[in-house]
Amino acid sequence: MRLPHPTPRRMGHANVTIHNKEFRPYLSAAQLDEVVVELAARLSADYAGRRPLFVVVLTGGFMFASDLLKCYRGECEVVFIRVASYEGTDSTGVVQEVLGLREEVQGRDIILVEDIVDTGTTMHHLLPTLLGKGPASVEIATLFFKPESLRHELPIRYVAKEIPNDFVVGYGLDYDGLGRNLPDVYVAV
């Protein structure tokens, strides 16, 4: 199943510059569509007959979550939380919970939707908090996973795509607030 887009999306062949840093094309919107559709199919099959609560980690996860949920087949609920752990191109190692979870999660199947898991600091911070609220299950679904960067052991069951330890922008991922709106993903040169 293809994702609905108002106009055909083609990856630009030119590099982009954000905050005086150059990025080259890495993954096209079409390639992203493919991995998102595949992940949505897995989630749909695994949660058939259940009603999971998708907890989307903002801000980076908004585009991925939007496309993932359009392809998810089954009943579900969606909520958003906002955390921050990045400054520039590096993780600060400190998670600041900006907007917290207010929904009841006890006895619920929770799917944490994240744009990228690299050091794992954000998920390492969120998992104990969620597990302490008594959910039936908690799983992580991420667009990108950087196994080389992981500093915390995490049970990451749903990965759309593993990538090397490169800094990427676009499709919700930013560099100091810019680049989230790019439909493709670019990698730092």
- Residues annotated catalytic, as ranges: 118
Contact 114, 124 (CB under 8 A): no
- Angle, alpha carbons 93-188-158 (nearest 5°): 60
* Per-residue 3-state assignment (H helix, E strand, C coil) for 18-41: ECCEEEEEEECHHHHHHHHHHHHH
- Give, rounded to a whole angstrom, the gap between the first and last alpha carbons of the chain: 33
Per DSSP, which regions of 64-171 are E strands?
77-87, 90-99, 109-117, 137-145, 158-162, 168-169
Angstrom distance (rounded) from CA 178 to CA 174: 5
